Structure 1
Amino acid sequence: MVYTKNKNKNLIGDKVKYARLKNKPKITQNDLLARLAVRGITLEKTAISKIESKTRPVTDKELVAIADALGVSILWLLGRE
Structure 2
Amino acid sequence: MRLRKQNLGDRNLIGARVESARKKKGMKQKELLAQLQVNGVDMNASGLSKLEGQIRYVTDIELVALADILETSVDSLLGRE
Classify the TM-score, shorter chain.
0.7 to 0.9
Name structure 1 gaps, 5 residues minimum: 1-6
Which of 14, 18, 21 in structure 2 is aligned with 1:19?
A: 21
1:46 partner SS:
helix
Give the drift of 1:21: 0.8
User: What is the match of residue 10 of structure 2?
Assistant: 8
Q: TM-score, structure 1 length as denominator?
A: 0.86
Letter in 2 for 1:14: A
Specify the structure having the higher radius of gyration (Cα): 1
Q: Distance in 1 between matches of 2:73 and 2:18?
A: 11
State how many pairs are aligned: 73
- Moved segments of 4+, more than 3 Å: none
- How do 1:1-81 residues align onto structure 2 when only pairs under 5 Å count? 7-23=9-25, 26-81=26-81
Please identify, of 51-60 and 39-48, the stretch whose mean Cα deviation from structure 2 is larger. Answer: 39-48
Question: Could you report, residue by residue, the CA deviation over 1:26-54 in whole angstroms, capped at 9, with x for unpaired residues?
Answer: 11101000000000001022111101110
Letter in 1 for 2:41: I
Name structure 2 gaps, 5 residues minimum: 1-8
